[in-house]
Chains A and B, each alone.
Chain A
Amino acid sequence: MADIHQSTLPNGLRIVLCPDDSVPLVGMSMLYDVGSRNETPGTAGFAHLFEHMMFQGSEYVPKGDFIRRIHALGGLANGSTSRERTNFYLSLPAHQMGLGLWMEADRLRALMVTEDNVENQRQTVLEERLQRVDNSPYGEAKVRIVELSYSDFAYGHPVIGYRKDLEMATTDDVRAFHDVWYGPDNVVLSMVGDLEVEPTLDLIHELFGGIPKGGERPALHLSEPRRMQTVRTELEDRLARMPALFVNHQSVPYSDPDFYVYEVMETLLFRGPSSRLIRRMVIDESTALQVTGGYEAHRGPSLFSFFAVLPQHGDPSQLSEMYQAELERLVSEPVDEMELEKVCSQLRSSRLFGHEAVLSRATSNARSLLYHNDVYWEERYLERVQRVTAADIQRVAARDFDPDGRVILEVRPR
């Protein structure tokens, strides 16, 4: 197992350090435990807008300087927001890691929120929404399928938010968001690379130790009743030229022991040219031009999703039944050992290649702690996946892939 150090500062900041001197770099992830699931009606998109605001300057790092200073060292820095978390990540030469820590600490303790910056970033986010949703084929459908799949607002609205909510955001709203969610007790700081644990811990303590805890955070009540009846909807898309199909089933959260069964089912169905759905639908029968999907795991209610773009005259209803038949085949025919071995090989390879970069390992370690409360979760992953049996797959597929528990969205070009 890798040598991973874990500790917590008195102000609640959780720290994960993993030395690796194979390259003279350090990857750093500040994983804030706030995402779109923490938004409430009327504030959809705030978490993502706030991600933008974190690059607009702090007490000692003027607007534009965060990225400029990282770039000046040849590093990279960016942020990303999901339903579960907001991740600020950077990588830089190992001997300059102090700069990265200092800038992260400064924007955590003293972010500059001004009217101008809020307005400027609101415009940028609205442009981003235009690009990703309004001007993108199937963009509206991707929002709709999520809305249809959850009755609860927390997971049932888009991360990028709604235009009307973004337009209403005020500077005070943004300040309040920082006060509530951006405290050291709501973040995991993870670093992987050419570092020594003790001096790095000293530096983190010096820079972050004086930052007070954040405000009281509202508890998140997530509930999603089991779907008993299939929802089937159609949508016309003026930007699409080909029909498309979205199908979602409810699935289990990260913490569920069947998490690993879902990981195996995802690979079996969707990953690689010999996977069942790609082989059948895309390569052999050409009923779809493109098929993607898999396990959308969260800490709360989760999904198993399917998305396909069909040929111009393809029939989405027929394809959705073909997909359901493949899911039911998981129940009726036990997966043979050879196919399970293939899946394990694919997962092992994908894990190793995914961990080539120190930055992706830093984020992965932070996620392991935040979602699984186990910094060695990633190390144990393969062993747990290898324990999944054909009977496990039959059991979970029979329980969760109910033909009456689907959300189906058929998209037709206008």
Chain B
Amino acid sequence: MNTFPDHPPPATEPRPWTFPSTVIRQLANGLHVAVIRMPSLPIVSVRWAFLAGRLHEADEQIGAGLLLQRMLRHGTSRMGSAEFARHLDRRGARLGTQVSVDSTVVSISTLREYLGEALQLATDVALHPGLPERSLAVERIRALQVHQHERNQVESMASIWLAHAMYGTHPYGHPLATRSGLESVTREDLQSLHARIADPSRAILLVTGDVEPDEVMDSIARSVEEYDSRTTPAPEQPLAPQPIEPCVWLVPKPEAEQTAIGVGLLATPRNHPDFLPLRLVNRIFGGGASSRLFSALRERQGLTYGVYSTLDCGLWWGDLTASMMVSPEKTGRGVMALSEEFERMGTGDISPAELQHGADYLIGSFPQRASGLSGVSSLTMAAWLHGLSPDVWRNYQADIARIDLTQATDTARRWIRPRQAAWVVVGPPEALDAAEDQLQSLHRPIRRVQMGALLD
């Protein structure tokens, strides 16, 4: 009979690991081309990323970026929507399109033998999309219906209102779409938005997978060097958002079965020196299932199925938010419990063990983040978009390991300022009424608002 050991077996010697190396070249038209070799499976990924996105939407056309993202899937100037779809599927290819607030990405993943076709298709979608009028009519209807659906979900309502509460009318606070924006955008508007975004001189073309960089770089470069940069002006840094008005926004949603609670404040852009320490602080606070929030609010108090905090940092600004859903009768308790952890985090009260745990996770999980084509492509693209050092991912684990307790504590105190946070609570009116006494203890004005105005 074996005796079960009371402690785990010792770890063996770790194997050295480094982020895959990137071969990068800038062409005469300004386009950056990068190739990364990952030969473990016979698959490839081609990705175009542009340094511009929904920030270029006109104020009265909020939703144009979302429609452009959908319309990029409807073929190219050379190939109609149906033929394009068949082309993709015959090659087992998957197309991804994303128009984010300050970047735009077109990607195609496929089998290695279709690399040439994937390159051509992705380039055509990125630079010469068809944007057919007929498809716009279909996508507009679909987007409007999804929009109507989302404005009735407490979770998405809370997230949309929280962005507004943090950024006000700043473009980072815009919802993905408004009804009037979706209704008014024309094909010409989309062509104009696309023209402002898709400038090869502000783009990177990434090829990742089972390729030899030395063999494919020249042919990739030749296939895209003919595309001239556009004459559109470079995107300008948007004005800084106004300081947050620290109040509690109550948004009634009759008949909701749950209450959504969110809190948020402004944080660093991605390329700020405080980004990494703040990422570590977020990990400790609510960045996973071993964080303070999860342990206290779910595992110890059983208040919610899931509670997490997120650090979302763009080119110019960033924010740190935390959110959860609770039963209506737990609304007041939920807000108080979240507030208590938020206040504690803001004091910079971090133990050495917590710091070590958070750092170990970020360091240890990095090979996992970088283990697939999509992960490596995303990380390489992010480094380029945010103007980070080409060695940023090779040094990432060492950079995290260097963050000490003083730096983490100072960073938490500097950026997590509970008095400056905005709170949003969306739920059934009777639950909001019942929680109001407890919400008073947050010591800030309480405002009741209706969702409609923000999304019409």
Q: Which residues of A come within 8 Å of B, CB atoms?
A: 21-25, 59-60, 63-64, 67-68, 71-76, 78, 91-96, 98-99, 101-103, 105-106, 109-110, 119-128, 130-131, 134-135, 137, 194, 203, 206-207, 209-210, 238-239, 241-242, 271-275, 279, 282-284, 286, 289, 309, 311-312, 338, 341-342, 345-350, 352-353, 355-358
Contacts and interface: CB of A to CB of B under 8 A. Distances in A.
B186 interface: no
Interface of B: 1-15, 17, 40-43, 73, 81-82, 84-86, 88-95, 109-111, 135, 138, 141-142, 145-146, 148-149, 152-154, 255-258, 288-290, 295, 298-300, 302-305, 325-327, 356-357, 360-368, 371-373
Given A71-B289, A76-B368, A345 B89 contact: yes
Contact of A341 (B85, B90, B357): B90
Contacts of A109: 4
B88 A272 contact: yes
Contacts of A75: 364-365, 368
Shortest Cβ-Cβ A-B pairs, 10 listed? A74-B364, A349-B92, A210-B2, A98-B9, A123-B302, A74-B365, A135-B257, A273-B85, A274-B85, A102-B8
Contact of B7 (A60, A121, A206, A238): A60
A309 B142 CA distance: 10
A121 B303 CA distance: 10
Contacts, number: 222
Given A272-B85, A311-B141, A345 B90 contact: yes
10 contacts: A60-B6, A71-B289, A71-B357, A72-B361, A98-B12, A137-B153, A239-B152, A239-B255, A283-B138, A289-B145
A124 B300 CA distance: 10
Contacts of A105: 4
A345 B111 contact: yes
Given A64-B299, A130-B258, 14 more contacts: A23-B371, A25-B368, A25-B371, A74-B360, A74-B363, A74-B364, A110-B4, A124-B305, A203-B9, A210-B3, A273-B85, A279-B82, A283-B85, A349-B94
Given A68-B357, A95-B14, A352 B111 contact: yes
B81 A95 contact: no
A273 B73 contact: yes
B361 A71 contact: yes
A16 B315 CA distance: 46
Contact of A130 (B2, B290, B327): B327
A48 to B, nearest CB: 12
Contacts of B364: 72-75, 92-93
A103 B91 CA distance: 43
B326 A127 contact: yes
Contacts of B9: 98-99, 101-102, 203, 207
Nearest to B287: A71
B111 A348 contact: yes
A63 B296 CA distance: 12
Nearest to B6: A60
B372 A342 contact: no
B393 to A, nearest CB: 15
Nearest to A102: B8
Given A348-B111, A357-B372, A274 B145 contact: no
Contacts of A106: 4
Nearest to B74: A283
Contacts of A341: 90
B4 A356 contact: no
B138 A286 contact: yes
Contacts of A342: 86, 89-90
Contacts of A63: 299
Contact of A120 (B2, B10, B142, B299): B299
Given A127-B327, A128-B305, A272 B366 contact: no
Nearest to A351: B92
A71 B325 contact: no
Given A74-B362, A349-B93, A241 B149 contact: yes
Contacts of A92: 364
A135 B371 contact: no
A91 B369 CA distance: 12
Contacts of B290: 64, 67-68, 71-72
B258 A64 contact: no
A24 B149 contact: no
Contacts of B373: 353, 356
A353 B141 contact: no
Nearest to B43: A352
Nearest to A359: B368
Contacts of B91: 345, 349
A273 to B, nearest CB: 4
A76 B15 CA distance: 19
A99 B9 CA distance: 6
Contacts of A348: 92, 111
Contacts of A91: 368
A60 B28 CA distance: 62
B361 A210 contact: no
B19 to A, nearest CB: 12
Contacts of A123: 302-303
A385 to B, nearest CB: 13
Given A74-B362, A76-B365, A349-B111, A127 B2 contact: no
B15 A95 contact: yes
Contacts of A206: 2, 5
Contact of B92 (A21, A22, A135, A346): A346
Nearest to A209: B2
A158 B404 CA distance: 48
A237 to B, nearest CB: 11
A135 B109 contact: no
Contacts of B327: 126-127, 130
A74 B368 contact: yes
Nearest to B289: A67
Contacts of A272: 85, 88-89
A95 B371 contact: no
